[in-house]
Each structure stands twice: as C-alpha cells, then as structure tokens.
Amino acid sequence: MKKPGKRLIWAGVFALITAGTVALALLLPGFWFSFYTDFSHYSIYFLGTVLSLCPVPVWEILLVLLVLTMIGCLVWAVRKHRIPGFLAMLLEINLLGVMLFMLLWGLNHFAPPIGEQINLNVRKYSATQLEQAAAWYAEQASALSTQVKRDAGGEVVPPSISEQSETAVAAYKLLGAENSRFKRTAPVVKPLMGSTLSAEMGTTGIYLCLTGEAAVSTKTYGLTQPFTVCHELGHSLAVAREDEANYLAFLACRASEDELFRYSGYYCAFLYCYNAINEENPDVAAGLWEHCSEQMRKDSNQHVSHDKQFEGSLRDTAQSVNDTYLKTFNEAGVKSYGLVVDYLVTEYLQNH
C-alpha cells in the first residue's frame, strides 16, 4: 500500500484537474462546448457499444468487486495499524472517480439547454395554458389506455427490458432521422441485477457514464417502464439534466410505433403537468381527472399502490443524496424533474 502522503498528493492532483475543467466550462462555455459535448457523446457511445455484449450492467459487477476489495483492504489496514493509509486511499479513489466522471460526462450539466440545441423556443406560458396542455396530454393518454396489453387483473403487461430496449432505440433512430442531436444512443438498455434494492432506494433507472451503460429496474411500474427506458437512453446522448432527459423520453415515446410506449409517454407527460398544477392549485388539478378515462384512472391508482410498497427510510436517504447531487449542478434538486413541464407546455403550444 502506498504511503499516505503520496496518495494525498495524487488526490490533490485529481481535485485540481476537476476544478480546472469546471472553471473552464463556466468561464468559456462557447469554446468548451464546441467540442466537449461531441467528445462526451462519442466516448460514452463507444463504451456502451463495447460493453453491450454483456447482458447485465458491467458496473454492477465492478461495484461488487470494488466493495469486496475495500473490505479486504480495511481488514488488512486494521491488522497492520495502517488506517491513515486506508483513508488516504479512499480519498484518492473517490477523487479519481469524480475527475473521470466530470471529464467524461459530468460537464454536460453546464451545457446549453437542450431546447437551444434542438431549436425548441421555450416560452413563458400562463396557468390557463398549462391547464390546457395537461388536459390535452390526459386526453391523448386516455385514448391509448385501452389499446395496450393487460393481464387478467387489468394491469399493464410490459415486455422484457431487452424488448423495450429495442423499441426505444428504434424510436430514437426515428428522432435522429429528423435531428442529428438524437443520433447514437446507447445500443441497449439492461435490466438492473439489483432491481429490488434500486426500487427501495426510489431509483427506477441508472445511467453510468464510466461504462456507458443504461439500466432500468424491473421493479419499475409497468406503465412507466418504457418512459424510464427512454429517459436513460436520453442520458446516453450526453444530456445530463434530469428534466431534459425526461423531455427526450417523451419525444421518443411519442415517436414510437408501439402503443405502450406512446401511452407511457403521454401518461407521464400528463403527470408532470398535473403535479405542477397541483402544487399551486389542488382544486384545478383535481378537475383535470375529468379528462382521463376510467382505465387511465385505474392505472394511476395502481401506480400509487405499486410505489407505496417500496417506501421507507432507505428511499428517503437515497432521495436526499440524489437531491444533493442535483443541487451541486445548480438543478433544483429532486424538484428539477418538474422543470420538464416547461418543455412539455412549449411542445403543446407549438402544435396548437
């Protein structure tokens, strides 16, 4: 094991490189993102393509090996009375990971908004326009709610994650034919091996840039699985912000030729608009359900029941960590997921 001093020096180097790249991104955004976004996009696409040969997320395997290795190192350090060296190693490894994350993908958090990149003119809108958009999304979802496959109990039956992956990739290819910004998503979305743990943490999907892999929990509610699959693929386009990945997920679901994907997209679009309205005016939000079919209301109730089974302190803790991560990049914490409403309302207004 290296001496603590050497590890601390390397940790400092990694920290300085990270801080330097972030400073460049903030001070010279035009110059930086004239090449960084493309560099990031091609790099993670390459990683994802190579590792797509493995049917499960490689990073999950590596994480288990890393944890076991760290436990072994800790036991050795305790026996040899070298705890300072072990702590220095942990700091060095963590700062190396942060540096690689920022260099490969993290700086996309500071990129120009996706609206600017795809010429979506996000505009101000009134409360009435938001309500109109929500009602329209509800009507579209309701029309599709009776066209999807269901089990004997009336619940949506989604295909396997691998099948959904193929459908989602095909949908992004349709978008890519219209706008090059949507080309070259990760070639596959994988099912999480730790799906139950992920669900208990309140995580429906994960995109890890260090391996270029998109993965989704099989415990995610069936109706929202397609949207989640498209969301994680959206991240593989070097789109870091959660609200923007949600908007891309909607576009992909809407473009899909699969009824379940389109239903999932419009259903989630309605929920985002509904939640935004409900925060300000619960009475108006309650009235929006009049635009929803009976089947869609049943699906919503099943959605709530499904998510409740995974509630607990682990989810609260994980959500707090995720909130801190998002706020680090000037996103509005977990609430940033609601900012997709700006895109959805603009999308509605441009077509009506």
| HEC profile of 43-109 | HHHHHHHHHCCCCCCHHHHHHHHHHHHHHHHHHHHHHCCCHHHHHHHHHHHHHHHHHHHHHHCHHHH
Per-residue pLDDT, 337: 42
For 308, residues 6+ apart whose C-beta sits below 8 A from its C-beta are none
Q: Is the pTM of this model over 0.85?
A: yes
The one-letter amino acid at 93: I
Find where tokens 């799906």 sit. Answer: 195
* Distance, CA of 8 to chain centre: 33
Alpha-carbon distance 50 to 116, whole Å? 31
**Do the Cβ atoms of 149 and 156 come closer than 8 Å?**
yes
Alpha-carbon distance 219 to 48, whole Å? 23
Alpha-carbon distance 178 to 254, whole Å? 14
The one-letter amino acid at 117: Q
Of 266, 261, 206, nearest in space to 236 by CA: 206
DSSP tag of 241 = -
Of 323, 320, 318, 317, nearest in space to 337 by CA: 323
Q: Which residues pair with 206 in a beta bridge?
A: 215
Find where tokens 């072994």 sit. Answer: 72
Q: What is the 3-state secondary structure (H, E, C) of 153-174?
A: CCCECCCCHHHHHHHHHHHHHH
For residue 150, the tally of other CB atoms under 10 A from its CB is 14
Strands 189-191 and 213-216: parallel
Of 251, 255, 225, nearest in space to 237 by CA: 251
Per-residue pLDDT, 334: 40
pLDDT in tens, the chain (352 residues): 567 889 999 999 999 999 999 999 989 888 778 889 999 999 999 999 999 999 999 999 999 999 999 999 999 999 999 999 999 999 999 999 999 999 999 999 999 889 989 988 888 899 999 999 999 999 999 999 999 999 988 899 999 999 999 999 999 999 999 999 999 999 999 999 999 988 888 889 999 999 999 999 999 999 999 999 999 999 999 999 999 999 999 999 999 999 999 999 999 999 999 999 998 899 999 999 999 999 999 999 999 998 888 776 555 554 555 555 555 555 543 443 457 999 999 999 998 8
**Do the Cβ atoms of 307 and 221 come closer than 8 Å?**
yes
Of 248, 242, 122, nearest in space to 182 by CA: 248
Q: Between the CA atoms of 118, 121, 126 and 132, what dihedral angle is there, to the nearest 10 degrees?
A: -50
Of 351, 343, 162, 335, nearest in space to 239 by CA: 343
Per-residue pLDDT, 121: 86
DSSP tag of 141 = H
For 207, residues 6+ apart whose C-beta sits below 8 A from its C-beta are 186, 213, 214, 215, 232, 235, 236
